């Protein structure tokens, strides 16, 4: 595949100790990752004041938390967390879960703060 096409199933890499994020693409405008969660793993609830996040479930049945809503969702489901709304993930199932995650604008620090 070229730099413009990605096999998200092949990109998935799981870690036993915590959820893994595999970057597919990033620019100063956005990032696109595959999030990989084993059973029991999570992304703690948090928010981004100036960034919208989109979760698209590829495999498994994770619980997606956005604001006060919690929903167990399956492949093909897309959840959107607007800027400022708390969001996170949990994999309470007995199978692995993968999600395609896009955030814009990219929360990259100013160049003067980057190392």
Domains of the chain, CATH where assigned:
26-104 (2.60.120.10)
Report residue 2's pLDDT band, with 50, 70 and 90 as the boundaries: confident
Both structure tokens of 68: 């006060």
pTM over 0.85: yes
CA nearest to 35, candidates 95, 106, 92, 102: 102
Tens-digit pLDDT profile for residues 77-114: 999 999 999 999 999 999 999 999 999 988 865 454 34
């Amino acid at each position: 595949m070229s730099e413009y096409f990605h096999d998200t199933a092949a990109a998935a890499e799981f870690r036993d100790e915590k959820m893994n994020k595999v970057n597919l693409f990033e620019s100063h405008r956005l990032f696109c990752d595959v999030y990989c969660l084993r059973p029991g793993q999570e992304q703690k609830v948090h928010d981004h004041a100036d960034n919208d996040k989109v979760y698209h479930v590829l495999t498994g049945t994770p619980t997606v938390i956005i604001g006060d809503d919690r929903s167990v969702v399956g492949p093909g489901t897309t959840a959107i967390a607007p800027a400022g709304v708390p969001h996170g993930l949990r994999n309470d199932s007995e199978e692995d879960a993968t999600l395609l995650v896009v955030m814009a604008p990219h929360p990259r620090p100013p160049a003067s703060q980057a190392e």
